[in-house]
Chains A and B, each alone.
Chain A
Amino acid sequence: MSEKVGIISYGAYVPKYRIKVEEIAKVWGDDAESIKKGLNIFQKSVPDMDEDTVTIAVEAARLALKRRDNLDPRDIGAIYVGSESHPYIVKPSGTIIAAAINAGNTLTVSDFEFACKAGTAAIQVCMGLVKSGMIKFGLAIGADVSQGAPGDALEYTAAAGGAAFIIGGENIITEIEDTFSFTSDTPDFWRREGQDYPRHGGRFTGEPAYFRHIISASKGLMEKMGTEPKDYDYAVFHQPNGKFPVRVAKILGFTKEQIEPGLLVPWIGNTYSGSSMLGLAATLDVAKPGERIFLTSFGSGAGSDAFSMIVTDEIESIERNPKLRDMIENVRYVDYGIYTKHKRKLKV
């Protein structure tokens, strides 16, 4: 049994290719300026030809392990990978990751799917296993190479990236004080088996889906803990575009300054299962001991997981460079043609 539970290490990865809003708008005859203004997004990440959810997850997990070179990967007792773009429908992503990081064979592995929030669900499961003493460390990953149909509004935001968090009960760099979830059957966004691209309910993805779930989970957690927005130094909310997280923060009473460090979507797009977790990684890059972080993810379908975290002195003991903000500045722009090739949108 472990009294405390939290993050032992973390890593993140975003492919270096980018496509600008202007390039996509040009193809579909849309007004780039109004899209940039409307979505608060300038560009999105594009995976390379040979990058997928698994390679992104491995990159993020390797960075997390590198930051803890005294941690034996074989002490990881569970790997859970949240994604809505697992490369296989049947056959786990997690086993490839386990092999790639040399986690051995005596561990439990499973792939998670809950639209954009499966990664935070993985953190919650690892928390339970660590606290109950069933495992020493758990690896929770959220990663995606998300799909947006050509010409759909999603094409401006559907991006690639992921983050990995090692959860444990000792040498905690950020303690997870508590978590609270809010879930309902709300079909705002879906993709059936065999379909290449997801479908969505347009504006229905806003109020009854994103806002209702994030607000309910966030308020639920703060009520449970007796905390208020001003008790936190940072806040991260799922980032499907640059507008929603800013608006939901304002509704809940968080300031722009609190969300700014973790707000990456304008420059990398919506990395789906990676989205709020990348925001957390960027926040951990700059957080100081004693500071508190509030995080709420959102997954369509729909649900939100809220977390209250406090940074410990231990964070100073790990190497936090390279920082995610620096990593995402090393970019190479592609045009729409190369983008369609990388995303395998061309059927031959």
Chain B
Amino acid sequence: MREVAVIGVGSTKFGEMWERSFRDIMIEAGLEAIQDAGIEGREIEAMYVGNMSAGRFISQEHIGALIVDYSGFSKDTHIPSTRVEAACASGGLAVREAYLSIASGMHDIVVAAGVEKMTDIGTEITVDVLASAADREWEGFVGATFPGLYALMATYHMNKFGTTREDLAEVSVKNHYNGSLNPKAQFNNRITIDTVLNSSLVADPLRIFDCSPITDGASAVILAAGSIARKYTDTPVYIKASSQASDTISLHDRRDVATLDSTVFAAKRAYKMAGITPKEVDVAEVHDCFTIAEIMAYEDLGFCKKGEGGKLIREGVTALDGDLPVNPSGGLKACGHPVGATGVKQVVEIVTQLRGEAGKRQVDGAEVGLTHNVGGTGATAVVHILTR
């Protein structure tokens, strides 16, 4: 296995981009990453694009071909371009596929991108599209939506471990604060515990401020073989580990409703591959599609013992000035959650942090970063560990 480095990153602003199309935002993110890497287009050997459901969001399939064409590589270099799908973990998986293609020795410079255009259709259809990440026959057909399934996990977690309603709210407050420092975040407004507690109920106990929003956005990273990375940048960020794990697609088939075993296994494999322990992580971007998801992520990634996730947020450990800042970008909650792009955006954020270029939201002295991207209610988890 060859060493792999990130040599360029790019992201659009996340939000409701009614005036711009799927291809517009994808190209903007890709171009920013290419410029950041200082490479020429003809140096790119392959592309991987994470996208969950363009077929239903914008009635467009064959995303790999569309993106490579609009990137201008279909008429000269004719490089391969592959769409990768694992629901909300599509972005993380695109990074992993790009990583594998370089680590294997097949390619030297590869683009990993993620894109989703979610606001071109009505909310009801969007909710149904997202529900397709769960088990349609056993969950979707009987009315389970994503907030409904995560509400079950939250209720179970609260009953089993004493996690409180306020603990959940704290996650949202923290992520909105971080989002206020990120110019590319969908939400820049700071909120209080009361904002969350008094917001509309979505699926008890989850309220609207516990839920990540519907977002348009695209992100891209340029990966290169470690041996050539310094030709392009003085600040390469190395991918020390890339791992992926699976769990049952239905929530009711899980060993434990309040544990994402996919995360547990992906994390264990990643720590082993990188040769570190969870304690050595300086900054993390985790999959907070709902506030309870971030609390479970703390536990399943080994940042604390099972059941102590609520305590971690309560004690401020994961705040920007805490011992282990989590979701400095604002996370899915405040930065936004364009499902196919999220996993790539997490890598963009960690690279920016490790380079020391995160501005007001910079985590002091960050040297080891972790990304955690989840598909569905945890049927897929992708974890990356990056270092300077």
Residues from 13 to 34 in B contacting A, C-beta threshold 8 Å: 16, 18-19
Interface range on chain A: under 10, 10 to 19, 20 to 34, or 35 or more? Answer: under 10
Instruction: Check if B359 is an interface residue, CB within 8 A of chain A.
Output: no
Residues from 1 to 58 in A contacting B, C-beta threshold 8 Å: 31, 34
Instruction: Check if B227 is an interface residue, CB within 8 A of chain A.
Output: no
Known: A208-B18, A208-B19. A202 touches B122 (CB 8 A): yes
Q: Which residues of B contact A190 (CB under 8 A)?
A: none
Q: How far is the CB of A26 from chain B (nearest CB, A)?
A: 16
Instruction: Check if A203 is an interface residue, CB within 8 A of chain B.
Output: yes
Interface range on chain B: under 10, 10 to 19, 20 to 34, or 35 or more? Answer: under 10
Q: Which residues of A contact B18 (CB under 8 A)?
A: 204, 208
Report whether A34 and B200 are in contact in the complex, using a CB–CB cutoff of 8 Å: yes
Interface of B, helix, strand, loop or mixed by DSSP: loop
Q: Which one of B16, B119, B200 contacts A31 once the chains associate, using CB atoms below 8 Å?
A: B200
- Chain B residue at minimum C-beta to C-beta distance from A188: B18
Report whether A203 and B16 are in contact in the complex, using a CB–CB cutoff of 8 Å: yes
Q: Which residues of B contact A204 (CB under 8 A)?
A: 16, 18, 119
Docked Cα-Cα span, A202 to B122, in Å, equals 8
Q: Which residues of A contact B19 (CB under 8 A)?
A: 208
Report whether B200 and A202 are in contact in the complex, using a CB–CB cutoff of 8 Å: no
Instruction: Check if B189 is an interface residue, CB within 8 A of chain A.
Output: no
Write the B346-361 contact mask toward A (1 if CB under 8 angstroms, else 0). Answer: 0000000000000000
Instruction: Check if B123 is an interface residue, CB within 8 A of chain A.
Output: yes
Q: How far is the CB of A189 from chain B (nearest CB, A)?
A: 13
Q: Which residues of A contact B123 (CB under 8 A)?
A: 202
Q: How far is the CB of A204 from chain B (nearest CB, A)?
A: 6
- Chain A residue at minimum C-beta to C-beta distance from B19: A208
Docked Cα-Cα span, A204 to B200, in Å, equals 20
Q: Which residues of A contact B200 (CB under 8 A)?
A: 31, 34
Docked Cα-Cα span, A202 to B16, in Å, equals 12
- Chain B residue at minimum C-beta to C-beta distance from A199: B122
Docked Cα-Cα span, A110 to B19, in Å, equals 35
Q: Which residues of B contact A201 (CB under 8 A)?
A: 122
Q: How far is the CB of B321 from chain A (nearest CB, A)?
A: 34
Q: Which residues of B contact A208 (CB under 8 A)?
A: 18-19
Q: How far is the CB of B189 from chain A (nearest CB, A)?
A: 15
Docked Cα-Cα span, A319 to B122, in Å, equals 49
Chain A interface (Cβ < 8 Å from any Cβ of B): 31, 34, 201-204, 208
* The 4 residue pairs across chains A and B that have the minimum distance between CB atoms: A208-B18, A204-B18, A202-B123, A203-B16
11 A–B contacts from the bound complex (CB under 8 Å): A31-B200, A34-B200, A201-B122, A202-B122, A202-B123, A203-B16, A204-B16, A204-B18, A204-B119, A208-B18, A208-B19
